[in-house]
Amino acid sequence: MSTKPKPPVRASTRTKTPTTVAPSTRTTRATASKSATATPPAPVAKKSTRKPLVSKDNATDAVVPSKPVSKPTAKRKGPKSAEDDEREPIMAYLRIRPHLGDDEPSSSPYLEPLSDTSVRMTDPHDPQNNAWRYRVSTIAPSSIYTFSHIFPTHTSQSDFFTKTTLPLVRDVLQGQNGLLFAYGVTNSGKTYSVQGGAHAGSAGILPRTLDVLFNSIDGLHGTGKYRPVRLQGVELADKTDSAPPPVSPEPGLAEVLGQHMDPAASDADIDPTVLKVDRNYEYTIWLSYAEVYNEKVYDLLDNVQDNSTGGIPRSNSGKSLLLTRKALSLKPSPPSDSPESGISGKYISGLRQFRVHSASQAKALVKLGQLHRRVFGTLANRESSRSHGMVILKVVRGHRGERDDPTALQIARLTLVDLAGSERTKHTQTTGDRLKEAGNINKSLMVLGQCMEVLRNNQRRVAVSLSQEGSDGRMDTRDVKRGLAVVPFRHSKLTEALMDYFVGDARAVMIVNVNPYDTGYDENSHVMKFAALAREVYVTPAPVPVQRLPGAKAQGSAGKRSPPEVAPKPYRRKVTISTGGPGSGKKAREAVLEVLEEDEGDVAESDDDEPINPLVDALFDEVEELRMQLFESEMRCAIIEAEVREEVMREMEERMASMEKMYARRLMNEVEQNEMKTDAKIDMLHHSGLFGSPVKPRVPQPRSAASDVSEEEDVEMSLIEHGADDLTSEDESERSRSLSLSPLAGKGKARSPTKPGTPRIIREVREYIPDPPMLPSDTEDAELTESELESDDGTDVVSVASVGTGVSATTGSEDDESQSDGDYNEDEEEDKWAPASAKTPRAKPAPQRVASPSPVPKMQAPTPRVSKLERGMSQLSLGEVDPDDSVIILPAKKFRARQESSEYEDQAEPSVALKKKKRQLAKKSVVTEEQIERAAAKTDSGKNVKRMTGRF
Ligand SMILES: Nc1ncnc2c1ncn2[C@@H]1O[C@H](COP(=O)(O)OP(=O)(O)OP(=O)(O)O)[C@@H](O)[C@H]1O
């Protein structure tokens, strides 16, 4: 006598609460229908004769509202229920993609793992960067996220599989459903995690799952007399099920894409893990592969029909290929398939499933599905998933003693989903068909997020309700149910197909893939937030009940579907597939295919389908419409924002250029001004008789170039003579030698008498005169000048060019001063734009070069200096002569005219001109301090100079 397998504990102990609760005669739970709300299971209520009530005393899993639903807290009353122990949040694992050698990171990684479970995410914008100020994102610049586990970049595929997926594989072998989905932006590593890479050891979790499944059931393969149908049902298998599955593509397709059928290196990877299974059972494994693309579900293992009519030429072979595929509908699972569980999920009607006998056979099928996924356009133009790929593995487990009893079978499903990239469209520049794809991807992922949110809120609400005390200490379950929101599973094909995992008994795992080198900080933040939300949703992992139908129906064939009643209008589009090319070692090929996608037609809703609330439906439609409008306006805003940014940048650049020009002009003016002042000062000293004999008052008269040259010669000679007068007797011979070289020696002698008492005054003048503003090239120029002079003369001479350069040549007149101020006022408008640093006082003191006692410079040929000085002198004109002081007061007119002129505006290289001017200035003013002092000591008019300079 065969021992009947003991039904799984949960199957026998749990009873799903029907939507309508019989008030008095049955034990009720304070939970709404799972299919609609997925509320957490509630404790058993006391019997009531009036209405279904839940005694608070029995609400053992009541949770403090602010706390997560399943976390036991100190405030719990009574013992924990068995169900409470079974609930667990959706597991969320973060995998950080490493930086690949082929692409340079555009920024440093913005994810910093803090521990095995938490990570800090910081906006890669440098806070010092100006861009930070213009950050318009509403996402927080730094956040910490928590996961079930975080896998750093160096995690191996094997480790990743072991920690994330192996528990699900164990579950499915023990008759428990499981769901795993990979979520993340494009290029973050979802496909790599699920499917794997091309190199050895890089097989992903899907091939490893197949390996472990077949390793574990080795020797325990079932006969395959029954096959799974719909969601939970079983049927008698027919001949088609025993036929080997098609593992090669349609011949025409194989010709086009034959190279894609090459076994990849990762096929050689075989995961050796073996799990312990109950050897009293035998197992059969069935595989199907579907994709959700543009809100339609397609079978990726369906035969591709080549309906070529010669319309579309193929670029390489000249033939044409027209491929047709048909969308599948989602239908509600009849309650008769799962009377024990009472869960009404949806199944993909007409999805082919194949019994696989080995891991390699299963992998070949998966490969075929991948190929079809590529052919049908979602991976055509680039290696990016624009569809959600779902591999559904069903494990049918039957007791070996009851091989012929279909009612003793247990069907568990494990679905692995590779979701499409979650990036937002405006960042991918998608248009046309791609925009539609992106819109639909966003829609399904948005609905998935909405479902999670509503599930979480419902679960919290139930928990809060259960924790609240009614007036009589009891609670009406109908009140609880009324407050729960409808979970919008039906608003996306993706969520519709997966809904039973969230509301039924299953374990759910979410893999979050992040590429921290991606600049998409905002997108990745959305991904992280989604993960945080998912972690707050609780599911109930529990074995599915044993199939307890009185008899299994033997109808239909797995691969057949009934013809549609209404001929759908197919959607036709072209797909270009590029293969080979540089790097692949194969010749580049391009194939243009035409794809016909037929609609699923009218899907007759069965009576068992959940009732549709027209108001809710209308609201969802409106939400969808608003979402699309929002999306469009976001796109418009993004474009406008980009345009405005560009315009502002252009304007700023222009403004910066004009400011630069203005400052260059002002700099030149200042240099010019300083030059004039220095010349004027030398002239004043010269004419006051400090450097020679008292100068006769001069009547202003037109100056010729020749007279300017002559005056300049006088200045130079006077300086030399004064220096020479003070020479000691030891220096006399050298002085004579020097003077003898000059044709102006006689002239110098005539001017030798000087007045005593000047040195003190001259020193005061030097002390008073402010230093010139220090220009960036001052030091450099001074050094240049010195080195030039040294190399020229071989004498240690000091440039006094900078001495007194801050003094205005117009100091003799108040009016002139005000005029001079007026010159600065002209720049007021420009000053508005000047940075704060540019508004500092113009005559900024600079370190003054100290004249060192040095030998008298050798006599130099005056010609070049005179000619340079001539220019400065010719720009000055004598104004009035103060007969008492013998000081010439110079008007500023010419000086200002010169200042205002735009003589230097057109100079392309202001810095070069500046250097040149400074060098000229330095050369013109070569005189030792000692010389000045000695000269000043010989004249009494120093007092007058002092008085004059006091006005400066
Ligand atoms: N952990 C990893 N180690 C090494 N390479 C990786 C890893 N993750 C991803 N890659 C590589 O990064 C690239 C992008 O990965 P993948 O195609 O898996 O991204 P995806 O998220 O699936 O993108 P899409 O959504 O566009 O399909 C691939 O070349 C893949 O081999």
Q: Determine if residue 187 is labeled as part of a ligand binding site.
A: yes
345 CA to centre of ligand 1 in angstroms: 32
DSSP 508: E
pLDDT of residue 458: 87
Q: In angstroms, what is the span from residue 192 Cα to ligand 1's centroid? A: 5
- Residues 655-685 have pLDDT tens digits of 999 999 999 999 999 999 999 999 999 888 8
Among 467, 535, 483, 537, smallest CA distance to 64 is for 467
Give distance in angstroms: CA of 718 to centre of ligand 1.
85
Q: Domain check: are 468 and 560 in the same one?
A: yes
**Six-digit token pair at 343?**
């869960």
The atom number, within ligand 1, closest to the CA of 379 reads: 27
Q: Could you identify the atom of ligand 1 that is nearest to the CA of residue 419?
A: 25
pLDDT reported for residue 390: 93
Q: Give the atom of ligand 1 at the shortest distance from the alpha carbon of 100.
A: 5
> Are 774 and 876 contained in the same domain?
yes
Please state the ipTM of this predicted complex: 0.98
Report the number of distinct structural domains present in the chain. 2
| Structure-token pair, residue 623 | 């939400």
**758 a known binding residue?**
no
**Distance between Cα 843 and ligand 1 center (Å):** 63
Report the pLDDT value the prediction gives residue 678, as an integer from 0 to 100: 92
* Average pLDDT of every residue of the chain: 65
Q: Is the pLDDT at 484 greater than 90, yes or no? A: no
**Lowest-confidence pick of 257-261, 361-365, 401-405, 616-620:** 257-261
Is 186 assigned a ligand-binding role in the annotation?
yes
- Least-confidence region, from 217-226, 232-241, 393-402: 232-241
Token pair recorded at residue 39 = 């509320």
Residue 151: predicted pLDDT: 93
Which residue has its alpha carbon closest to ligand 1 atom 9? 189
The structure tokens 């020797």 sit at 219
How does residue 724 score in pLDDT terms, banded at 50, 70 and 90?
Answer: very low
pLDDT at 282 over 80: yes
Indicate the residue among 577, 612, 647 that finishes a domain: 612
DSSP structure class, residue 141: S
pLDDT reported for residue 155: 92
Across-strand partners of 399?
Answer: 281
179-195 mean pLDDT: 90
271 and 381 both lie in a single domain: yes
Distance of CA 513 from the midpoint of ligand 1 (Å): 9
**pLDDT tens-digit readout, 158-170:** 999 999 999 999 9
Instruction: Determine the distance separating the centroid of ligand 1 and the alpha carbon of 103, expressed in angstroms.
Output: 13
Give the Å distances, CA to CA, from 341 to 12, 469, 489, 546: 10, 30, 19, 10
Instruction: Indicate if the pLDDT at residue 923 is higher than 80.
Output: no
What does each C-alpha distance from 786 to 53, 371, 401, 766 come to in angstroms? 103, 79, 110, 20
CA gap 362, 224 in Å, rounded: 16
Domain-terminating residue out of 592, 612, 632: 612
CB distance 205 to 164 below 8 Å: yes
Kindly report which listed range (95-99, 172-176, 306-310, 832-836) carries the lowest average pLDDT score. Answer: 832-836
Cβ atoms 289, 390 nearer than 8 A: yes
Nearest protein CA to atom 26 of ligand 1, as residue: 384
Are 259 and 363 members of one domain?
A: yes
Average pLDDT over residues 285-309: 82
612, 632, 663 - which closes a domain = 612
Rounded to 5 degrees, φ, ψ at 361 are -65, -45
Least confident of 141-145, 383-387, 638-642, 718-722: 718-722
> Is 80 exceeded by the pLDDT of residue 107?
no
Which atom of ligand 1 is found nearest the CA of 418?
Answer: 22
* Same domain (yes/no): 663, 587: no
190 assigned ligand-binding residue: yes
- Nearest ligand 1 atom to the CA of 420 is 25
Q: Are residues 250 and 165 in the same domain?
A: yes
Domain that holds residue 543: 27-612
User: How far apart are alpha carbons 261 and 465 in whole angstroms?
Assistant: 57
Minimal-distance CA residue to ligand 1 atom 11 = 189
Closest residue CA from atom 16 of ligand 1 = 189
660, 548: one domain: no
Centroid of ligand 1 to alpha carbon of 169 (angstroms): 24
Q: Of ligand 1's atoms, which has the minimum distance to the CA of residue 382?
A: 26
> pLDDT digits over 632-662, tens only?
788 788 889 889 999 999 999 999 999 999 9
pLDDT at residue 136, rounded to an integer? 52
Q: For ligand 1, atom 1, name the residue with the nearest CA.
A: 97
Residue pair 447/488 in contact by the 8 Å Cβ criterion:
yes
Q: Which residues pair with 475 in a beta bridge?
A: 54
Helices within 376-492 (DSSP H only) = 432-467, 477-482
Residue 13 inside a domain? The answer is no
In a domain, 625, yes or no: no
Top-confidence residue, 628 or 801: 628
The residue assigned the tokens 């393969």 is 221
Axis crossing angle, helix 863-874 with helix 705-725, rounded to the nearest 10:
120
Q: Which residue has the least CA distance to atom 14 on ligand 1? A: 187
Residue 634 placed within a domain: no
**Pocket perturbation via mutation, ligand 1, pick of 93, 94, 97 by most ligand atoms within 8 A of CB:** 97
702 in the same domain as 604:
no
- 735 or 399, greater pLDDT: 399
Pocket test for ligand 1, best of 154, 185, 187 (most atoms within 8 A of CB): 187
Is 543 in contact with 11 (CB distance < 8 Å)?
Answer: yes
Ligand 1 center–CA 195 separation, angstroms: 10
In a domain, 4, yes or no: no
Residue of 102, 164, 192, 386 best suited for mutating to test ligand 1, as the one with most atoms within 8 Å of CB: 192
pLDDT at 297 over 80: yes
Please list the alpha-helical segments (H only) found in 741-813.
745-750, 758-768, 778-793
Which residues contact ligand 1 via a Cβ below 6 A?
97-98, 100, 184, 186-192, 197, 383-385, 420-421, 513
Query: Among 100, 293, 382, which is best to mutate for testing ligand 1, by the most ligand atoms less than 8 A from CB?
Result: 100
Atom 8 of ligand 1, nearest CA residue: 189
Q: How far is CA 902 from CA 155, 669, 906, 907, in A?
A: 69, 9, 8, 10
Helix 614-687 vs helix 893-900: crossing angle, to nearest 10: 150
Instruction: Characterize the bridge pairing of strands 506-514 and 177-184.
Output: parallel
Q: Which residue's CA is the nearest one to ligand 1's atom 4?
A: 98
pLDDT for 935:
58
Q: What is the pLDDT of residue 910?
A: 53
The alpha carbon of 98 and the centre of ligand 1 are apart by a number of angstroms equal to: 9
Portion of the chain with pLDDT greater than 90, in percent:
13
pLDDT for 814: 41
Residue among 12, 17, 40 at smallest CA distance from 28: 17
Query: Which of 344-358, 385-399, 686-700, 869-883 bottoms out in mean pLDDT, i.e. has the lowest?
Result: 869-883
Q: Residue 121 forms beta bridges with which residues?
A: 111, 143
Q: Look at residues 877, 90, 137, 7 and name the one whose alpha carbon lies nearest to residue 498.
A: 90
Token pair for residue 861? 């040929």
Domain assignment of residue 19, yes or no: no
> What is the separation, in whole angstroms, between the first and last Cα of the chain?
126
Name the nearest CA neighbour of 372 among 415, 324, 416. 324
Q: What is the CATH number of the domain that holds 503?
A: 3.40.850.10
Model pLDDT, residue 536: 87
The answer to whether 707 touches 874, Cβ cutoff 8 Å, is no
Biggest CA pair distance of the chain: 148
Q: At 659, which amino acid appears? A: M
Q: pLDDT-derived band of residue 69, with 50, 70 and 90 as boundaries? A: very low
Tell me which of 153, 191, 518 to substitute to probe ligand 1's pocket, judged by most ligand atoms within 8 Å of the beta carbon. 191
Of 865, 887, 857, 938, the C-alpha closest to 713 is 865
Q: How many residues does the chain have?
A: 952
Q: Residue 30 pLDDT more than 50?
A: no
| Contact predicate 884/761, CB 8 Å | no
Q: Is the same domain home to 155 and 58?
A: yes
Residues 674 and 601 in one domain: no
What CA–CA distance (Å, rounded) separates 384 from 443? 18
**Domain contains 356:** yes
User: For 246-276, what is each residue's pLDDT tens digit?
Assistant: 666 666 666 655 544 554 444 678 889 999 8
- Cα 262–chain centre separation: 37
For residue 379, list its beta bridge partners: none
Interval between CA 509 and ligand 1 midpoint (Å): 19
Is 811 found in the same domain as 721? yes
Point out the ligand 1 atom lying closest to the alpha carbon of residue 192: 18
Q: Residue 626: inside a domain, yes or no?
A: no
Å from CA of 190 to ligand 1 middle: 6
Give pLDDT tens digits for 880-920: 444 444 444 445 555 565 555 544 444 445 566 667 766 77
Q: What is the pLDDT of residue 113?
A: 85
> What is the mean pLDDT of the segment spanning 439-468?
80
pLDDT in tens, 767-812: 444 444 444 444 444 444 444 444 444 433 333 333 333 333 333 4
Q: Which of 360-369, 423-432, 632-641 has the lowest average pLDDT?
A: 423-432
- Helix axes 157-164 and 205-216, enclosed angle (nearest 10): 60
Residue 638 lies in a domain: no
Q: Consult the annotation and say whether 189 binds a ligand.
A: yes
Taking the centre of ligand 1 as the mean of its atom positions, its distance from the CA of residue 253, in whole angstroms, is 26
Same domain, 556 and 673: no
pLDDT at 472: 60
pLDDT for the residue numbered 760: 44
CA of 188 to the centre of ligand 1 (A): 5
